[in-house]
Structure 1
Amino acid sequence: MKKLVVLTGAGISAESGIKTFRDADGLWESHDIMEVASFSGFIKNPELVLDFYNKRRKQLFEVQPNLAHDILTQLESYFEVFIITQNIDDLHERSGSTNVIHLHGELLKARNIKDPNSIIEWKNNINLGDVDSKNIQLRPHIVWFGEEVPEMEKAIKIVEQADYLLVVGTSLQVYPAAGLINYVSEDVLVYYIDPKPVEINDLDNPIKIIPLSATKGMKIVSEELKRLK
C-alpha cells in the first residue's frame, strides 16, 4: 500500500469544539502564551498552568471526533496512513486512526518536571502535590515553547517516505512542525486543506489547495485519493 502522510493542526479539532491554539489577538484562552505554555511560566505560577491544562483536559472529555477524523480513519483501508499532529487531544485515536505521532505532547499523559521521558497515562486533574513513583511533581506531557520536540526526527523520516502528503487545518506557522513539508520528495503530490491557506513558496511539488474547513475539504480529497491509489 502507498503511504499517505497527514499533517494536522488545530483546524481539524476546531470543528469538534476545541478552540484553536491562538485567538486573533495572539492570546490563548485570554492568557499570554508564555504564561501557560513555557516551563518558566510553570515555575512562576504552577497553579495557573496546571489549572489551564486541567480545564483543557475536562473539555476534551466533552467533545467527539468529527467527520474529518473519521475520513482519515477510513482511508486506512486504501493507504498506509501516518498522522503527524500538532494537536494534544486524542480525537484521532478515538476515531480509530492507528498510526499517530503527537509532536507537541498529549493532554491525557503526564510526566515529572525533571525527566521528559517519565511519561505516564493521566486522565485526571494534575495538582500541586501530585507526584510520580519517584516522588517528583507531575506536569502535563506537553511540549512547551523552548523545549525540544522529541518526535521530530521520527516525523521527518515518515514525511520523507510519503507517496502523498496531506496538510489539514494548520497555519504552517509554528516551527519546527511547519518545516516538515520541506522533507517531502519533490514528485509527491501535496494537498493543503485550510479555510485560510497561507502561501507555500518554497516547495517545487505539485500542490492542490482546498480553501475549505477540514470536514468539507476531507470529503473532496478523500474521493480523489481513492481514485489515485
Structure 2
Amino acid sequence: MSPLPASIPGIVRTRVRAAVRRPARLTPEETAGRALVLRLVSLLLQYPDAELTAARTELTTVVRALPDTPAARRLSGFTGWFAGQDPEALERHYVEMFDLRRRSGLYLTYYLHGDTRRRGMALLALNQRYRAAGWNTDSGELPDHLPVVLEFAALAGPGAGEAPLRQHRRGLELIHRALTDAGSPYRHVLAALLTLLPPATEADRAAVDRLVTEGPPSEEVGLDPYGAYGDGEFAPPGAFVPPVPAPPTRVPAAPTPRTEGPR
C-alpha cells in the first residue's frame, strides 16, 4: 500500500482545529439554553442601575432554574452575592472593577489592538457584522462592549454569533484573571462565559501572560511602561507627559548692576 499523501496530515490538522473552534451540533433546546446563559451573562455584566437591581430576585430565580452545568453553577455563585448587596455598594464595586481598572475593562478590541488605528477598523468590522445579521444596536455603547457582544451572540447563535467571543478569547481570559486577582465576585460571571468557549491553549495562556506584563499594542510615543500606574494597571489613554524643554544653549550676559546715588 502506498503511503498517505503528504497533504493528508495537514488536512486532518486543519479540520481538527476547525472542529475545536466551533461548538458541537446542538439541539434546538440546547441552543436556546445556551442563548439564555449568554443573555444572563450580558445582563449581569451591565451597570447595576435601579432597573437591574430591582430585578435581582427574578434573575436569581432564573439562574436557579437552569440545568446543572458549570456555567449555571458559576452564575449561581455570583447571583447569591449580587442579591445580598446594597445597591450603592454594587455601583461602587462595578465602577471600580470595570471603569477604573484597565485590565478588567469590558471593551474587547482594546486587548487585541490597544489604542491603535487597527482598533478602529475592528470596531467598524463588528458593526458591519451586526448589520449583516440584521441587527442594529442602539444602546449607545461601542460595538465591542462585552454585554453588546454577548447579546449579539445570544441572538445570532453559536456559529457566527459567537465568533467575536472566540476571536477575543484572550481578552476574556485577561478580564477573568484580573477579576480573580481583585477577589471580585464578577469573576464567576466571566468564568461562566468561558465554560461556553473552547478551552484555552498554551498559546492563549502565554499571550495572556504577555498582556499582563506588556499591555496591549500602542502607537503612543513617550508613555511610561505598562504597569507604572498602580497595581500593574495599563497606562491610561492620554497619559503622555511632554519632556521638560532643554535649557537654552546660550546664557545671556548678566545685567549691569544698578547703582544708587546718595540719599
TM-score (norm 1): 0.28
Rg: which structure is higher? 2
TM-score (norm 2): 0.25
Give the structure with the larger helix fraction: 2
